């Protein structure tokens, strides 16, 4: 990786300077009192190193857009020069619309589908080596310009000899060899950060990269994951997972059914195609709630380049297309059930159980910070009830402006939670970024859908662990009753919304009478 030292040195030009974290004065380490968290910093493991370096330049210039833009461009150059893992981190940062300044997200979003490309010569070489034939022997046509390029591969549109239109995902030729160097470089960076900021402990980040990167580099594993999630979520008519063509797929080449659409965070595309933004957000929440709470098999890279939307041909119904299945997290049953209980407690504002299940998940005395990170809400909002009111502009501004103050405590927390939680945090980050872009963040409907999945998951677990017919019937009745209560609550919310809308309409008619 000859360019890396030079490009990495450019980090110094970002001039990081950090004030001491005021969270210590709020009693975070005082076991006898609950701390007050004015914001909810939702920062997951891939963002911590670059976020610390990039987000905060000189404090006196923090809010100046020119400083943010200059730093964002340098960060983007750094990611593109080093490719691989660095682009994956840049993709994550580019999806955090609700957390980072616009200059960063708008600059880094290019990495979602327009990362540095491999040449056609390299693409031909990979296909020749893996499939044993030249491109012209396999395809009637093969577009030289890729549909998109990401950290590990790029995708080309092609037509097979039998007339099927396919998407051909081709791994960058040097990424396999480069990945071990990336991890080594990351390890050096982590040790350097440890020297500069002794309160941070990031070695677990390197351990996670060592575990996950080989899985993402195996496209046969990706194909198996795609088929598994398609089967698992087949009851969702709104979900489309492209079919895999196994006869022309290898560890470095993956052939899929070609499916076109707009990125899930593109409101303009949805408005032009008359796709309901709220429906898409609601269905995305249903899909991920099912993965996390019910099945424990979670797609962990839902950045906007991997989630497309379209009108389904023939029916015109809105459809979500889920791509890039290389990285999944398999949750243990114990973790999944504790996580279900925790979200149920957060949704229904049962603070004793919030503390209990946060601590069961490794949060310890930092459980209020843990709850804030999960919900992306302030501690005050968590105590009032996260479904009671949407995120206010003030709360959102605090999250954006003050998140870095809590990085030492976040680092401490993330070093203690189960490793399964790290990718869940990343997934939460990316989903909230999509919701922020669509303007649907923290809707009551999304929390109710999560609660439904939690109820179903917990009831299924109880049924599996009892042999009594009477007990199973009792559990089923309790489950049905709880789901009816949620349906009733949702109906009440809709009626209130319709009533409010009718009042506003009546008021407007009274204030602005129709001309005679």
Rounded Cα–Cα distance for residues 209 and 180 (Å): 10
| Token pair of 390 as six digits | 């949407």
| Interatomic CA distance for residues 402 and 40, integer angstroms | 9
For tokens 């990343």, name the residue.
Answer: 426
Report how far residue 505's alpha carbon sits from residue 136's, in angstroms, rounded to the nearest whole number: 63
The CA angle 422-425-426, to the nearest 5 degrees, is 90
Rounded alpha-carbon distances, angstroms, from residue 393 to 38, 282, 390, 397, 399: 13, 22, 10, 6, 10
- Identify the active-site residue in 97, 182, 266, 301: 301
Which residues face 114 on adjacent strands? 149
> How does DSSP classify residue 169?
E
Contact 342, 354 (CB under 8 A): yes
At 451, is the secondary structure helix, strand, or coil?
helix
301 is catalytic: yes
The 3-class SS string of 364-433 reads HHHHHHHHHHHHCCCHHHHHHCCCCCCCCHHHHHHHHHHHHHHHHHHHHHHCCCCHHHHHHHHHHHHHHH
Strands 148-149 and 165-171: unpaired
CA 233 to chain centroid, in Å, comes to 19
Q: Do the bridges between strand 139-142 and strand 153-160 make them parallel or antiparallel, or are there none, so unpaired? A: antiparallel
Catalytic residue positions?
Answer: 301
């Amino acid at each position: 990786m000859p360019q890396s030292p030079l490009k990495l040195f450019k980090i110094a030009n970002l001039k990081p300077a950090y004030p001491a974290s005021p969270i210590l004065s709020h009693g975070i380490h005082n076991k006898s009192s609950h701390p007050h968290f004015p914001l909810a910093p939702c920062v997951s493991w891939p963002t911590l190193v670059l976020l610390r370096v990039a987000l905060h330049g000189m404090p006196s210039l923090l809010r100046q857009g020119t400083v943010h833009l200059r730093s964002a461009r340098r960060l983007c150059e750094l990611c593109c020069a080093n490719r691989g893992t660095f682009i994956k981190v840049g993709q994550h940062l580019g999806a955090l619309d609700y957390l980072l300044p616009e200059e960063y997200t708008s600059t880094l979003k290019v990495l979602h589908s327009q990362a540095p490309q491999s040449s056609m010569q390299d693409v031909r070489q990979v296909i020749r080596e893996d499939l044993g034939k030249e491109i012209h022997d396999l395809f009637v046509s093969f577009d030289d310009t890729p549909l998109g390029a990401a950290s590990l591969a790029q995708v080309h549109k092609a037509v097979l000899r039998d007339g099927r239109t396919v998407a051909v995902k081709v791994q960058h030729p040097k990424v396999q060899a480069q990945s071990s160097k990336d991890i080594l470089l990351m390890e050096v960076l982590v040790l350097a950060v440890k020297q500069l900021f002794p309160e941070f402990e990031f070695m677990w980040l390197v351990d996670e990269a060592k575990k996950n990167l080989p899985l993402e580099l195996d496209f046969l594993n990706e194909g198996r994951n795609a088929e598994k999630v398609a089967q698992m979520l087949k009851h969702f008519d709104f979900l489309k997972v492209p079919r895999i063509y196994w006869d022309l797929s290898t560890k470095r080449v993956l052939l899929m059914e070609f499916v076109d659409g707009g990125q899930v965070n593109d409101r303009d595309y949805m408005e032009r195609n008359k796709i309901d933004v709220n429906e898409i957000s609601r269905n995305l929440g249903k899909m991920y709630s099912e993965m996390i709470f019910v099945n424990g098999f979670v797609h962990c890279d839902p950045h906007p380049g991997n989630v497309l939307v379209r009108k389904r041909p023939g029916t015109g119904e809105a459809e979500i297309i889920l791509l890039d299945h290389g990285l999944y997290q398999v949750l243990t049953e114990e973790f999944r059930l504790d996580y279900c209980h925790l979200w149920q407690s957060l949704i229904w504002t049962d603070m004793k159980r919030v503390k209990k299940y946060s601590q069961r998940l490794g949060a310890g005395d930092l459980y209020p910070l843990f709850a804030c990170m999960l919900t992306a809400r302030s501690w005050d909002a968590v105590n009032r009830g996260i479904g009671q009111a949407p995120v206010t502009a003030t709360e959102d501004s605090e999250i954006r402006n003050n998140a870095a103050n809590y990085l030492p405590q976040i680092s401490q927390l993330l070093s203690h939670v189960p490793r399964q939680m790290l990718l869940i945090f990343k997934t939460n980050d990316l989903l909230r970024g999509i919701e922020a872009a669509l303007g649907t963040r923290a809707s009551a409907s999304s929390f109710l859908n999560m609660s439904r999945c939690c109820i179903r998951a917990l009831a299924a677990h109880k049924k599996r662990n009892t042999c009594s017919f009477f007990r199973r019937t009792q559990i089923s009745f309790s489950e049905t009753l709880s789901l009816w209560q949620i349906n009733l609550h949702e109906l009440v919310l809709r009626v209130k919304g319709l009533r409010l809308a009718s009042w506003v309409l009546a008021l407007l008619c009274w204030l602005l009478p129709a001309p005679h």
